[in-house]
């Protein structure tokens, strides 16, 4: 499963707690974790928790972010790629589904690219949003507004599953 999240930890400890919980849950359920390859922020929390539980954690980091995000040197696999586009292509090719945790522009970019590709039938991968502490409430409302205003070809609930606690993901694994 691809995990998209921030390379920073955010302003509340609950973000880190939920990121670590997701890493542990996926590893315990023998689900490979594919993520951005960084050793900082929520990305590191997911990766480290997955590794501590004996899981397989695959990182994919573009060379240009190597200094900014600081690559994780203890992963099961680490792929250094040339561009952000090649990063996303490899992330998408190595996952069957994705879970979106709190993050910034990069996280939203990955979410919306997956949604766009799903809409265009490039893939049909399930997308989960972990709405930690209501972080994505406004975004979810806006996505529903896009549907109500007839800008989407499908109801967003057909491809997006919103969960509020990490443990909720287990029923979908």
Structural domains of the chain sorted by starting position, each given as residue range(s) with its CATH number in brackets: 2-172 (3.40.50.450)
Give the pLDDT confidence score for residue 64 in this predicted structure. Answer: 84
Give the pLDDT confidence score for residue 123 in this predicted structure. Answer: 87
What is the reported pTM? 0.95
Segments in the chain below pLDDT 50: none
Which residues contact residue 12 at a Cβ distance below 8 angstroms, ignoring those fewer than 6 apart? Answer: 133
Give the pLDDT confidence score for residue 69 in this predicted structure. Answer: 62
Average pLDDT of the chain to the nearest whole number: 95
């Amino acid at each position: 499963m691809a995990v998209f999240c921030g390379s920073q930890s955010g302003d509340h400890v609950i973000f880190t707690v939920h990121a670590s919980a997701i890493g542990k849950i996926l590893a315990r359920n023998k689900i490979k974790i594919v993520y951005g390859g960084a050793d900082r922020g929520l990305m590191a929390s997911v990766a480290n928790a997955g590794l501590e539980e004996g899981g397989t954690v695959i990182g994919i980091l573009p060379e240009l972010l190597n200094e900014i995000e600081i690559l994780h040197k203890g992963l099961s696999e680490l792929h250094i790629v040339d561009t952000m586009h090649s990063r996303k292509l490899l992330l998408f090719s190595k996952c069957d589904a994705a879970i979106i945790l709190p993050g910034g522009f990069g996280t939203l970019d990955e979410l919306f690219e997956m949604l766009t590709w799903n809409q265009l039938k490039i893939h049909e991968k399930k997308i989960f949003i972990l709405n930690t502490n209501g972080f994505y409430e406004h975004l979810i409302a806006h996505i529903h507004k896009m549907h109500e205003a007839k800008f989407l070809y499908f109801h967003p609930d057909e491809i997006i599953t919103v969960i509020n606690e990490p443990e909720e993901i287990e029923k979908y694994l």
